[in-house]
Structure formats: structure tokens, C-alpha cells
Structure 1
Amino acid sequence: MSREQLAARQAELLHALLADGPAPAGFDAARLRVEANVLRRKHGRVLAYQRPELAEALGDRYGPLFAEFTASRPKRDTERSGAYADAFVEWLIAGGHLPKPRRGLRARLRRR
């Protein structure tokens, strides 16, 4: 297999894991879904660590809300974590899960 072919296969796998893409040939789709869910939960923990004020503001609702968000809006394979976190904050505000921030609070919730 050439480097280009290997890179294309790796990109397919990342797309399946991070962005709900189809399972590449030779991969079990059910097992990939399990692994994708594990990666999403891990990403939720990392985001909570990076933005503790967000996790604190949501309390016990953080995990279920993050799971709901990722189910409807999977992380794109080219998307940076900070941009994804910003999208999560915007989704929370739009859904009424967080109040619309006053000036300054949004900046604290959305670190760039």
C-alpha cells in the first residue's frame, strides 16, 4: 500500500470515528460506533477540564448535554477543540441550557 493510499484510509477512519462517517471497508461498523462513543466521552472530559467554569455551571447536566450535542453535531475531523467547545457553548445558549451571557461572561465561557 502506498503512502497516499494509507493516508486516504487513515482519513476515512478518522472521519468515521470523529464525524459519524461511514465505516471504511474492512472495519466493523458497530465496533467503530462503540469506539466513537468512547472518544466523544473522553472529549467531553477533556473539555470539562479545559473549561471548568462551563462544567461547573452545568453541574450534573454537563455529561448528558454534551452527549446530546455530540449526537447532533459530531466533531469534524479538521476542527480544533476550542472551536468545537465554542460551538457547544453556543448550542447550550440557543437551547436555553445556559443564560445568554452578559458582556464578559461569554468571553470567560469561550476561551480562544
Structure 2
Amino acid sequence: MSREDLAARQAELLHALLADGPPPPGFDRSRLRVEAQVLRRKHGRVLAYQRPELAEALGERYGALFAEFAARRPKSATEHSHAYADAFTEWLIESGHLPKPKRGLLSRLRRR
């Protein structure tokens, strides 16, 4: 298998795992769905580690809210976790789960 073919198959697999794309040939859809859920939970834990103030502010709602966000906006394969954390923060504010900050946090997030 050439490098290009391998890269294409890896891209298909990442699309299936991160963006609910179709399973690549030879992969079981139900197993990929389980792995995708595991990856989303891992992203949620990483994000809570990077932004502990979010996890603290949301308390028990954190997991469910992150799952809702991740289902609507999966993390791309090339996206840095800090950018994904910024997008989650912005979504929380815009959807009313967190109060709008007084000092322009949204505009600072959008400039990154």
C-alpha cells in the first residue's frame, strides 16, 4: 500500500470517528460508533483539564453539554485542542449556558 493510499484510508477513518462519516471498507459501524464516543469523552476530559473554570462553572452539566456540543460540532483532525476549547466556550455563551462575559471574551476568542 502506498503512502498516499494509507493517508487516504486514515483520513476516511478519522472522518468516520470524528465527524460521523461513513465507515471505511472493512470497519464495523457499531464499533466505530463506540470508539467515536470514547474519543469524544476523551476530548471532554482534555478540555476540562485545559479549562477547569468551565468544568467548575458547569458542574454536573459539563458532560452532557460537552456531548451535545461535540455531536453538533466534532473536532477536526487538524484542529488544536485549544481552538476546540475556544469554540466550546463560545458555544456555551451563545447558547445561554454561561453568562456573557463583561470584558470581550468572545471577541478575543474569535481573533485567535
Is this contact kept in 1: 2:9–2:24, CA < 8 A? yes
- Give the equivalent residue in structure 2 for 1:74: 74
- Give the equivalent residue in structure 2 for 1:11: 11
Letter in 1 for 2:74: P
Letter in 1 for 2:44: G
Matches of 2:80 and 2:70, distance apart in 1: 15
1:104 to partner: Cα distance: 6.4
Equivalenced residues, count: 111
- Give the equivalent residue in structure 2 for 1:88: 88
Structure 1 residues not aligned, in runs of 5+:
none
% identical equivalent positions: 82
Change (3 A) 1:28 1:99: same
| Residues 12-53 of structure 1, C-alpha deviations (whole Å, 9 max, x = no match) | 111111122111111001110110000000110110011101
2:99 aligned counterpart, secondary structure: coil
1:4 to partner: Cα distance: 1.1
1:38 aligned counterpart, secondary structure: helix
Greater relative CO (CA pairs within 8 A, separation 6+): 1
Is this contact kept in 1: 2:90–2:106, CA < 8 A? no
Is this contact kept in 2: 1:19–1:77, CA < 8 A? no
Letter in 2 for 1:100: K
Within a 5 Å distance, the mapping from 1:1-112 to structure 2 comes to 1-103=1-103
| Residues 43-71 of structure 1, C-alpha deviations (whole Å, 9 max, x = no match) | 10110011101111111110010001111
Give every structure 1 segment of 4 or more consecutive aligned residues whose post-TM-superposition deviation is greater than 4 Å: 104-107
| TM-score normalised by length of structure 1 | 0.89
Structure 2 residues not aligned, in runs of 5+:
none
